[in-house]
Structure 1
Amino acid sequence: MEKILKPFLQTTYRERELVNLMWIGFLLYILSYTLSTTTYVNYVICQFIQIVGLVLFIPLFFNLIKFRLVNTYLQVFFSLYIIWIIFIVIRDFPSNFDQLKFMLFDAWFGGILYLSPLFILLPLKLFYLKKLFQTIFLLAIAYLIYDVFFLKDLLSQGASLTSLNIVEYFSKTLAVPAFFLLMVYTYHSNRKKFFLIIILLVTIFFALVRARRGLLFMCGLTAVFSYLLFLSQTRNKFFLVLLTIICGGILFIFGLEFFSYQKHSIFDHITDRGLEDTRSTVEICFFQDLSFKDWIIGKGMLGEYFCPGIDQDDVTGYRSTIETDYLQIILKGGLMSLSLFLLITIPAIFKGLFYSTNLLSKAAALWIIWILLNMYPSTIHTFTMPYILLWISVGICYSKNIRNIPNETLISYFKEEANSDLKQPTVNL
């Protein structure tokens, strides 16, 4: 076991410093981008900070990644996927300054999102994963701070598109990554576990206020997956299952009563929307616009489809995004892109769930499932931490050595708060 663990523990001082600076660059970029989506701040300032973040992040990122994968199957299909991504970008590369700005500064829909799959090439060393967890905690802290400053908009009951966007961008960019940490709960102190639960509850609250059904689905799925992992790691399962059924039943009945009789509740908007169909129109437009060739190879990085009358301030009738992520992938890269993506991710699920000995691998597999399930109601393929976590999770699931690390070893490593970046951590073997 010591021989297996050695490559995952060894890091140099220079390597640790580069990892720290890389994530600082990422934080500068993503926090500035999230702030810019509110429309209340100066775009020039935000984009300047984004440039600083990219200048710091990109060279360090490419310095740290290793262009090799241990699994032959993954090597073949990931190589094909990267070649196809290069094709998507090259065939529709920005031809003017505005398009170039969009590609660099829009973390959700710009060309920068095509860097996300390369995170699978980061070395799977425990120090890298620990820094990843710390970055996610910092994003969650920023989420609470942003919520305080924009509380009025978050609680708005009107039809303001800005208010809706603030809820969506804040939650999915800053809060949702913390959901993964809930799944690996045993690697955190009780104080951090409590903080993660607070993040989940706050996200649920604002999703209810603004009737964001996709976001509520994310939160509910996280709770279910976290609980399943909790059951797999604890004893007295019968008592826990029984208690959960009882508590869940009480909460469900209370919820029905609450939504039925609280006529002037802050949550009226979610009950008003109910099962309102907000997707059929754009999906019909999408199906009508794409040709057979478009279905196979997509329309490129800047590809659009004709769907007039949907967006405010729309003058051309063309949209570059569709809220269903499976269709978004097809729009840009066709069924070729979607097929390669699924050929990589689905086998990873089985490896992580059924051929692993630790919680990290199982949580990684469930995170891939979480992404695949949320790709219909939500936008996932972005240059944000949830999608980056997908590719890191794929790397974990394909790594036999990572899957075979004893869970007690990982608990010992991640819970060792006194670890210094200036020394090698001690791990109980």
Structure 2
Amino acid sequence: MTAPRIAVCLVVNDEVRDLHGCLQSVRQLGHLLTEVCVYGAGATEQLLNAARQSGAKVHEGQWDGDLAAARNAAACMTDAPWVLVLEPGERLRVDIPALTKLLALPERMVGEPDAIAVEVSRGRAAGAATREPRVYRPERAHFVGALEDRLEPMEPGRELVSLNAGVEVCSVWAVVVPQGDQRDRLVRRVARADAALAKLTSEGIGGNDLVTALVERSRARRALGDDDGALADLNRARRVRAGEPYRRRAREDLTTLLIEHGYFSGANKLIAELRADGGDDDYSDWLTAQVHAAQGQARVAWDILRKLESATSSDGTVVASPQILTEQMIMANRIGELEEALECCVDLVAKHGLALRHGRMLLKLWGPRSADGLADLLIQADARHLDEVAAALSALPEPGPSVAQALRDVRAEKPAAVRIM
């Protein structure tokens, strides 16, 4: 069987701030990636040159406000059988073996798919997400609609056939560039940090104060979508002679940024430094698990995560159980440890009250087993959030409403079974 091939296509204009981060992110596709095609729609020559230097194929086009036409022009730059559409401010998360299997579906299967819908969220921690057909066959579908682009079949009158990729297979998250008052506050933070750094430099002051100012500016820049500026600040902070807690803070921030951009060897080197310099072992383990997960080494990441309960960074930021459990669930699902994934999901829904976020995954992992059985499992895990769980499951397809009704029946008939001790 010929290995499936996929091209990443982007439309960029002169408003793009962090194309570099997006281009680094697509490296996660590994052997699946044929090429990256960048269609310049009024983009600056500097931006297009940066894309060329990254290895992307670049075409300088025109921008007349028709995003659908620009997306189609970008797809015409490749002969790959599959195209993944990204926007410059987005990042990709992918399980290569699972996506390979999905892309390799027989082309003449019943209900042959034109596209694959993936979850698109704004920011890693965002609760709200949409499903969009971002992966498609350019020979079978194209974008239409000058004002609001949408993917439609080439053949008139036929409906788009789309498969859903699980969030553990492929997902996209957007760097949230703040607007309005929030953006103004961040801009002021950068200005204050600029002034502090200028003063420290003029007075020849380094050490802890310099590292603190650099880390502060890097965090504000990152929140504004300026990852390149944040990277420069953190690399500079790392080289400053300062107290170990201050340098550790800079290295931790730099490690997370390198992981997001696919610089895994650099991230591993920094994690080794953190361990050698007395950093929190649990937090170093958390970072190490993130490196393995991003590289598609799900079992290694899972083995690390299942031993963690929480982790604390140098500045006191806590990576709490829900976040660790979520990653553990995703990794367990990737490697086929479905009962382990179910256990994590039950805890997330019942103990931590995250039914809105994880209810759909709970039903998927439970499968065809009885609704009453799942209700009993949720009650045994924790009864404090039953009302919220029932409300969230009611809004999902079956067996969600049946499980919700079973939870309500237990609360009505056996209040003692759900009493908080």
TM class, shorter-chain normalised? under 0.3
Ranked by relative contact order (alpha carbons within 8 Å, sequence separation 6 or more), the top structure is 1
Give the TM-score, by structure 2 length.
0.27
| Structure with greater proportional helix content | 1
| Larger Rg computed on CA atoms | 2
